[in-house]
Amino acid sequence: MKEIIVNLHMHTRYSDGGGSHHDIAEAALKCGLDAVIVTDHNVLVKDFEGYVASGRKKVLMLIGEEVHDQGRVPQKNHLLAFGANQELATYAGNPQTLINAVKESDGLAFIAHPNDPAAPTFNETDISWEDWGVKNYTGIELWNGLSELKTVVPTKLHGVFYAYFPWLVAHHPVQDTLNKWDELLTGNNHVVAIGGSDAHAMHLHLGPLSRIIYPYEFHFKAINTHIIISKPLTGDVNTDKRMIYEALSAGHCFVGYDLPGPTRGFRFTAQGREATAIMGDEIPVRGGVTLQAHLPHPAEIRLLKDGEVIQKGMNQQALAYIVTEPGIYRVEVYRNYLGLRRGWIFSNPIYVR
Ligand SMILES: [Zn+2]
Ligand SMILES: [Zn+2]
């Protein structure tokens, strides 16, 4: 088992971002990421897919797409598509048709920023997901860096403040999104959670002020998706791409907010009588199952079953729990950072059946 750190969901000048693919690669190399997934709005810019190296460091740049119906009023339903081998924007008119098209072209479909509030001061509307009747998608973006920013900027002054102190923005995923995820999971679905930065590297001009706010480099140190793969990356683009997307599709990953402290090394596993499981897997309850979580640093850890906290500990580095009932078990970890309690790690669930 090998853990890789991936930052996903970001925009370049091919849509509404302020930087280039080159800027992204440079920032990713600086931050030590293993891979990035670039997702411009309604355009698949495939040419940039591949490894980018600098000295002994390298990063895999993968290209996905964020698709939505540009004619819809109001704007809603943004979908992240990874690994699909065709342009998908033409299917945007109907969310289910779009999801089907992603799946038919061997791609992964994630509901982007499920709850994305309006920020009227900046003329940003609510672009939440509305069509919850859809089926057959891979998962949801549990924690989106930009949705959370929209919750903390009631005035322009707040906007300027957070532009200069971006590390104060993130607290935890939007609570409605966490609740929605638990609701979907207990409906007998596999729903993979990922963390996205929604990086735009926007240029801000306010009077005499001019700067890039939320540069790629900032995002790449913040909300990442940590993926567990069975073998180390090989350096071959197609092999590694397949390995990453297979693990992501299986939910072998967790959302880590790496700014308060590196989340690398977090593990959540299950040991049954005859089987073992990691995040995203199913395991039979028969004969009992022992769940174990291990943190890279002591913190507040909570174990949830079907959305309810069943065990918690403060300043703890490990947790063990013997399960005798079927359920959806997942872990949340919180720690203090810059004077506030913040979400640090959100695991994908282990499905005990
Ligand atoms: Zn979006
Ligand atoms: Zn986006």
Report pLDDT digits (tens) over 46-77.
999 999 999 999 999 999 999 999 999 999 99
Ligand 2 center–CA 202 separation, angstroms: 12
Ligand nearest to the CA of 197: 2
Least confident of 32-41, 167-176, 217-226, 289-298: 167-176
Ligand 1 center–CA 113 separation, angstroms: 7
Ligand 2 center–CA 186 separation, angstroms: 28
Q: Both tokens of residue 22?
A: 């080159």
Distances (CA, A) of 1 to 75, 209, 267: 41, 47, 11
Beta strands (DSSP E) in 48-191 are: 50-54, 57-67, 79-82, 108-111, 139-144
Rounded Cα gap, residues 140 and 142, in angstroms: 6
Q: Both tokens of residue 228?
A: 């567990």
User: Amino acid letter at 145?
Assistant: G
Rounded Cα gap, residues 237 and 55, in angstroms: 18
pLDDT tens digits, 179-229: 999 999 998 889 999 999 999 998 877 777 777 889 999 999 999 999 999
Q: Are 22 and 51 in contact (CB under 8 A)?
A: no
Ligand 2 center–CA 9 separation, angstroms: 6
Q: How far is C-alpha 207 from the chain's CA centre?
A: 35
Ligand 2 center–CA 112 separation, angstroms: 8
Ligand 2 center–CA 40 separation, angstroms: 7
Ligand 1 center–CA 298 separation, angstroms: 34
Q: Which phi and psi (to 5°) does residue 66 adopt?
A: -110, 115
pLDDT tens digits, 115-140: 999 999 888 899 999 999 999 999 99
Q: Are 328 and 310 in contact (CB under 8 A)?
A: no
Ligand 2 center–CA 292 separation, angstroms: 34
Q: Are 268 and 278 in contact (CB under 8 A)?
A: yes
Task: State the pairing for strand pair 289-305/327-337.
Answer: antiparallel
